[in-house]
Structure 1
C-alpha cells in the first residue's frame, strides 16, 4: 500500500466520484452488512470469540463503506476528516476486540471448530472478492486507502479464524480461538493507526496550502 496519496486521486473529486468507485462501494457495503449478520449469529451459536470479533469488524466496515459513499465527491479536506474518524473507529473496534479476548481468557472459551472454519471460509470468499474489486483503488487518498485497508484486513482475519478453527479441532482447546481474536485486534490497531496517520498528513497539507 502506498503511504502517500497520488496527486491525481487526491486532487480531483471527479475521479473519486466516478460510477465504478461508487458501484464498488455499494457492493462492498451489501456484502459486509450481510456477513455481519451471518457471522454474529454463527459466532454466538458456536461460542467463538474470533467469529464474533470478525462480525464486529464486518459491521464497522459496512459503516465505513456507507460513509465513503457519502463523501466520495467532496473536497480533499472533508475526505481526510472523514478518514480520520474512520481510522479512529477501526482503532476503537480493535480495542474492543482486544478487551473481548482478554475476557475470554478469564471466563473461558469452548467454541465449535467446524462452524468456525466453515463460516470463516465463507467470509474469506466474500472478502477476497471485495478486496479484488477494490484493489485498483488502494493508492488513492486516505479515504480510499481506508476502504482498501478494511478489505485487506478482513481477508487476513478470515484466514486467522479458519486456522483457529482447525487448531481448536485438533487440540480440543479454546485457546486458539482466543489467540485468533488477539491477532485480529493487533491487525485492527495497525490498520486504524495507518489510516489515522495518512489522514493527518493530508489535513496538514490542506492547511498548509490554505
Structure 2
C-alpha cells in the first residue's frame, strides 16, 4: 500500500471502498463511523429477527425456522466481533474472520444435524406459519442488506459481514418457499430439504471466508518481513 494511504489517520470511504487507492489495491477494513453505525443497526435487526423466528421455530418444530433462528443469533454475535475488530491490526482482523468462519461451520453442521433428526422423528409443521416467519426474516435481512451493500467489498472481516447478510436473504426466501410447499403437500420434506440446502450455503461461505482470511494473514506477514 502506498505510504500516503498508510499515514492517513482515517481514509475516506470513497478511497477505502475503491478498488485502488493512490494507484494500489486497497481493501476497506471497516474503519469509518458510517460503517460502525450501519453495523450496530444490523446487529439490532438480527437480534429482533432471532426472537421472532425462534419462538415460531420452537412451537412448530421446523428445521427451516430453527436454522433461521440460529442464523440470526450467530450473526448478531459475529457482527459484534466485526465491530470490535474494526481498527485493529490485520492479524487481529484476520483472526476475527477465522472465528466467524468457524461459527458458520458450527452452524452449518448443527443445521444439517437438526434436519436429519427431524427427518427421523418429526411431524409436518404448519406451512403457513413457516412462510409468514420466513417473510418476516426476509424483511429484516433485506433492510440489513440495503444498509450494507455499499460496504460489500472489503477485507475478510468486512466481507464476511456481507456474505452472512447475503446468505440470510437466501435463507429467508428458502424458508418462506419451504413453508408454501409444506402447506401445499402436507409433507415435512420441503422444510427438511430447505434446512439441508441452507446448511450447505453456510458451509460454502465458511470456507470462502477462511481462505480469504488466511491469504490476508500471509500477505501481512510477508509485508512485515520486508520492512
Q: What's the TM-score, normalizing by structure 2?
A: 0.86
CA-to-aligned-CA distance 1:69-96 (integer Å, 9 cap, x gap)? 1111112221111101111111111111
Q: Name the residue aligned to 1:132.
A: 146
Question: Is residue 156 of structure 2 the alignment partner of residue 119 of structure 1?
Answer: no
Residue 110 of structure 1 and its aligned partner are, at CA, apart by 1.5
Aligned partners of 1:197 and 1:28: how far apart in 2? 25
1:42 matched residue in structure 2:
56
Aligned 8 A contact 1:109 1:175 in 2: no
Count residues in correspondence.
Answer: 202
CA displacement at 1:125 relative to structure 2: 0.7
How far is 1:45 from its partner?
1.2
Distance in 2 between residues matched to 1:109 and 1:151, nearest whole Å: 30
Give ranges in structure 2 of 5+ residues lacking alignment: 1-18
- Comparing 172-181 and 107-116, the one that deviates more: 107-116
Q: What residue is the counterpart of 2:68 in the other structure?
A: 54
Question: Aligned to 2:161, which of 147, 155, 164?
Answer: 147
| Residue among 66, 77, 100 paired with 2:91 | 77
Structure with greater Cα Rg: 2
For residues 113 and 164 of structure 2, what CA distance do their matches in structure 1 show?
Answer: 20
Question: Which residue, 108, 111, 129 being the options, matches 1:94?
Answer: 108
Partner of 2:11: none
Aligned to 1:33: 47
Contact 2:61 2:122 (C-alpha < 8 Å) held by counterparts: no
Measured in 1, the distance between the counterparts of 2:156 and 2:149 equals 14
Question: Offset at 1:9?
Answer: 2.9
Runs of 4+ in 1 over 3 A off after TM superposition: none
CA distance in 1, matches of 2:57, 2:43: 21
Task: Find out whether 1:104 has 2:144 as its counterpart.
Answer: no
Which of structures 1 and 2 has the larger relative contact order (alpha carbons within 8 angstroms, sep 6+)?
A: 1
What is the root-mean-square deviation of aligned Cα atoms in Å?
1.3
Structure 2: how far apart are the matches of 1:109 and 1:140? 44
1:209, distance to aligned residue in structure 2 (A)? 1.1
Q: Residue 48 of structure 1 contacts residue 109 of structure 1 at CA under 8 Å; is this kept in 2?
A: no
Structure 1 residue 9 and structure 2 residue 23: aligned?
no
What is the alpha-carbon distance in structure 2 between the residues aligned to residue 64 and residue 109 of structure 1?
A: 33
Q: Which of 168, 178, 185 does residue 164 from structure 1 map onto?
A: 178
TM-score with structure 1 length normalisation?
A: 0.93
What is the rounded CA distance, in whole Å, between the counterparts of 2:99 and 2:79 in structure 1?
A: 13
Q: 2: distance between equivalents of 1:194 and 1:39? A: 27
